[in-house]
Chain A
């Protein structure tokens, strides 16, 4: 039985050359990302090509997704947050499709690598910091100084708030990465039990359907988690963007 960690190995598919010691290669991870973006763009183009007042099924899906993300963003940031809609919508669709594609047997789970999720989180926090400073100048730093704190505590609280802000991209990326990694490992381990029990032959193979039932239940749960984590990632993105728009409160 293969190791449950084999599914996360990055393999180069085509190598184009080298920079220093690191090869420039199209990896299985990169190929899946291209596929994800291609799928999203294709689905969106297809669903909006024949836009009609009475939508057909594809257009209805696209409109539901739009409404879902737009409501989320409007609730968290108010009306002027809608300028970030393209960013938030792209992030939501990318994470959602990446998570769901990972549930296809044999496919690579892009979001189970922390470098990918951290890049997405760094994009969000970078947007927050740059937009906050451009829009509010140094008043943006007021985010780190909570009101109503005793003077002697203020330096401590400010440093803690700064560390708490620095930890946001880490927690944002860590949560998505850990959920996908743990879910896929658990899935593989339980699926491996089936093979091991059958290979053991004899009386033990009677028990083989038990892990099979567990695996089926876990597949359903993992699909739920894939959607939930995309949702949580997007909600937190909206909340952080709100800090950039309204740092005062």
Chain B
């Protein structure tokens, strides 16, 4: 009863104006906060990638592990299929080849050259080219 009257007593015409002003200011602040935190997250991600790429040795270990694990996973899968279905050499052969493909995919993902594979429909050749420039220097 008392509270709603109080602003009226001070300035009768200003209160709706004030509220609209406040809400626009809040919105502006919100969007700016969003921008800033997004930028910070992006910067942190870049820093994280830079940190994990610091030493050439570390990167070599990382990429080779990615590739080898792809081949091993393919080989294991093929071996299991062969054992279960009795399709002696074929499962191992085909899955091992697919495993090489998976290893290459792992490696390209790990080195960050295939970042926008999901969003863009471009061919792998196109996707790797723009990433290669900064990585080569």
Residues of B contacting A164 with CB < 8 Å?
A: 70, 73, 102, 105-106
- Choose the segment among A33-41, A45-53, A168-176, A206-214 that binds chain B (4+ C-beta atoms closer than 8 Å): A168-176
Residue of B69, B70, B72 with highest tally of chain A CB at under 10 A:
B69
In chain A, positions 213-249 with a C-beta closer than 8 Å to chain B are 225, 228, 231-232, 235, 249
Contacts A175-B61, A225-B58 given; does A166 touch B73 at CB 8 Å: yes
Cβ contacts B38-64/A at 8 Å (1 or 0 each): 000100110010011011001001100
Q: Tell me the bound Cα distance from A149 to B48 in angstroms.
A: 30
- Choose the segment among B4-12, B23-31, B93-101, B129-137 that binds chain A (4+ C-beta atoms closer than 8 Å): B93-101
A178 at the A/B interface (Cβ < 8 Å)?
Answer: yes
Contact of B48 among A163, A166, A235 (CB under 8 A): A235
Q: Tell me the bound Cα distance from A166 to B95 in angstroms.
A: 12
Question: Are A163 and B99 interface neighbours, CB within 8 A?
Answer: yes
Contacts A163-B98, A174-B68 given; does A148 touch B77 at CB 8 Å: no
- With CB as the reference atom, state the residue of chain B lying closest to A149: B121
Residues of A contacting B51 with CB < 8 Å?
A: 228, 231
Cβ contacts A152-190/B at 8 Å (1 or 0 each): 000010011101101110110011001100100000000
A67 at the A/B interface (Cβ < 8 Å)?
Answer: no
Residues of A contacting B118 with CB < 8 Å?
A: 146-148, 249
- With CB as the reference atom, state the residue of chain B lying closest to A74: B41
A75 at the A/B interface (Cβ < 8 Å)?
Answer: yes
B117 at the A/B interface (Cβ < 8 Å)?
Answer: yes
Q: Would you call the interface of chain A mostly helix, strand, loop, or mixed?
A: helix
Q: Tell me the bound Cα distance from A231 to B121 in angstroms.
A: 33
A205 at the A/B interface (Cβ < 8 Å)?
Answer: no
- With CB as the reference atom, state the residue of chain A lying closest to B121: A148
Question: Are A160 and B102 interface neighbours, CB within 8 A?
Answer: yes
Question: Are B69 and A232 interface neighbours, CB within 8 A?
Answer: no
Residues of A contacting B55 with CB < 8 Å?
A: 228
Q: Tell me the bound Cα distance from A231 to B50 in angstroms.
A: 12
Question: Are A166 and B52 interface neighbours, CB within 8 A?
Answer: no
A71 at the A/B interface (Cβ < 8 Å)?
Answer: yes
A70 at the A/B interface (Cβ < 8 Å)?
Answer: no
Residues of A contacting B101 with CB < 8 Å?
A: 156, 160, 163
B74 at the A/B interface (Cβ < 8 Å)?
Answer: yes
Question: Are B102 and A167 interface neighbours, CB within 8 A?
Answer: yes
Residues of A contacting B66 with CB < 8 Å?
A: 167, 171
Question: Are B73 and A232 interface neighbours, CB within 8 A?
Answer: no
Residues of A contacting B105 with CB < 8 Å?
A: 160-161, 164
Which residues of A are in contact with B by a Cβ distance under 8 Å?
71-72, 75, 146-149, 156, 159-161, 163-164, 166-168, 170-171, 174-175, 178-179, 182, 225, 228, 231-232, 235, 249
The 8 closest A-B pairs by CB, nearest first: A171-B69, A148-B121, A167-B73, A170-B69, A163-B102, A164-B102, A175-B65, A167-B69
With A167-B99, A174-B68 known, 9 other A-B pairs at CB within 8 A are: A146-B117, A147-B118, A167-B69, A167-B102, A170-B69, A170-B72, A170-B73, A228-B54, A228-B58
Q: List 22 A-B contacts (CB under 8 A).
A: A71-B44, A147-B118, A148-B119, A148-B120, A148-B121, A149-B121, A156-B98, A160-B102, A166-B76, A167-B66, A167-B69, A167-B99, A167-B103, A171-B65, A175-B61, A175-B62, A175-B65, A179-B58, A179-B61, A228-B51, A228-B52, A231-B51
